Amino acid sequence: MPIGELRFSSQSPIAVVDSTMNNDETWLWGQIKAEARQDAESEPALASYLYSTILSHSSLERSLSFHLGNKLCSSTLLSTLLYDLFLNAFSTDYGLRSAAVADLRAARERDPACVSFSHCLLNYKGFLACQAHRVAHKLWNESRRPLALALQSRIADVFAVDIHPAARIGKGILFDHATGVVVGETAVIGNNVSILHHVTLGGTGKMCGDRHPKIGDGVLIGAGATILGNVKIGEGAKIGAGSVVLIDVPPRTTAVGNPARLVGGKEKPSQLEDIPGESMDHTSFISEWSDYII
């Protein structure tokens, strides 16, 4: 996308449009500020909070950096230090900003409880944990590993989401509710994946090396599912809530149970027509899986 050219005087920071923002970022940031203004007018008790977190900032990356800095700071890890850390990462890495925009859209489009982009930006800990992880991952790749691990620890403490900074995560990710999500060091998550709370992408023991799951594009992983080992979940697959997956799952199939089995059988499993990670359809397989109806 073309780079925005709008510039305004630094004397009016609220009016400034970051020259590195593309059209999609610019539109989304405008929506977020409009939503925040409307919320501030309808609920005066939040006006100061909305001004400090959104309305006083000139861009999405500045607002997000400020908010994450305040969320993750501690008595010894200062908010100003974290703000500078996050802002430097988001400002210099277009990929991080692009992923944040895609994640905001994912939450707004897939979660019926998400009433606005600003609501997601401020209140969705799955979104916030994912953006903070992206910065930790950048630090990890830059060999700033003690800081990356410290950031991982704070993310786990504050958001109850534990993602190793080496784990690779794509765009358009929805961590819905997010509490209890664990993602191991060598795990890979593709694009447009939706993951519910208490999901584990873990190893099988003390084995070293490449030992964690690889999640394809468009996958949906239900609440409480556990996927262990260096297994591949094919693109467009669905993992039912509470399932335990220990072997590969073919693309566009549904795996449920403990241990997980494919709906329709191993030889000719039922094929999904939609993209589960985007449709968020958790239950359509039930009629095929069991004839027992309560």
pTM of the model: 0.89
Region class of 238: left (phi > 0), else alpha (psi between -120 and 50), else beta? beta
- Whether residue 230 has pLDDT greater than 90: yes
- pLDDT tens column, 55-87: 999 999 999 999 999 999 999 999 999 999 999
CATH number of 166-293: 2.160.10.10
- pLDDT tens column, 97-131: 999 999 999 999 999 999 999 999 999 999 999 99
- 290 pLDDT band (50/70/90 cuts)? low
- pLDDT tens column, 167-211: 999 999 999 999 999 999 999 999 999 999 999 999 998 889 999
Count of CB atoms within 10 A of residue 11's CB? 7
Distance CA 271, CA 141 (A): 38
Report whether 176 contacts 197 (CB < 8 A).
Answer: yes
* 194-195 sheet: strands from edge to edge: 174-175, 194-195, 220-221, 238-239, 254-256, 261-262
- pLDDT tens column, 22-43: 788 999 999 999 999 999 999 9
CATH second-level architecture of 22-160?
Answer: Orthogonal Bundle (1.10)
Structural domain boundaries in the chain: 22-160, 166-293
Give the CA angle between residues 81, 18, 82 to the nearest 5°. 10
Report whether 189 contacts 170 (CB < 8 A).
Answer: yes
Match 């809530």 to its residue by tokens.
241
* pLDDT score of 288: 61
